[in-house]
Copies of this chain bind each other. A is one copy, B any other.
Amino acid sequence: MIHQRECPVETVIQVLGGKWKPMILWQLIASKQRFNDLEKLIPDVSQKMLSQHLRDLEREGIVDRTVYPSVPPKVEYSLSEYGKTLIPVAEVMCAWGAAHNKQKNEEKEESAS
């Protein structure tokens, strides 16, 4: 499938390539979350970046945003049906990334000995 000059690998990197986007995606794969929940689940993210990344993912059609008109306001973010097509992609990336990290750690231990 890699047969074009403009490789769409870049597309995936753009969609997933914000600092917190993989983490957000991973949390939403587990289950839908409120804004505040995501803030707690991803300790170091700022409100600004969380909001911005969620809006990016929403614009790509990956995340659904549901507003409940209550007081206090309640907003739920969830993986859309389309967003679920990203799960197998994320799994493959995750597997290679985990193996790669493991190998790099082993290299570090070798050089330390």
Residues of A within 8 A of B (CB): 1-2, 4, 7-13, 15-17, 22-23, 25-26, 29, 60-61, 85-101, 103
Contacts and interface: CB of A to CB of B under 8 A. Distances in A.
Task: Determine the main DSSP class of A at the interface with B.
Answer: helix
B26 A98 contact: no
B89 A8 contact: no
A4 B11 CA distance: 25
A86 B103 CA distance: 14
Contacts of A91: 1-2
25 contacts: A2-B90, A2-B94, A4-B98, A7-B22, A7-B23, A7-B94, A8-B94, A8-B100, A9-B26, A9-B94, A9-B97, A11-B100, A12-B97, A12-B100, A13-B13, A13-B16, A15-B97, A60-B100, A85-B99, A88-B92, A89-B93, A89-B96, A92-B92, A92-B93, A93-B93
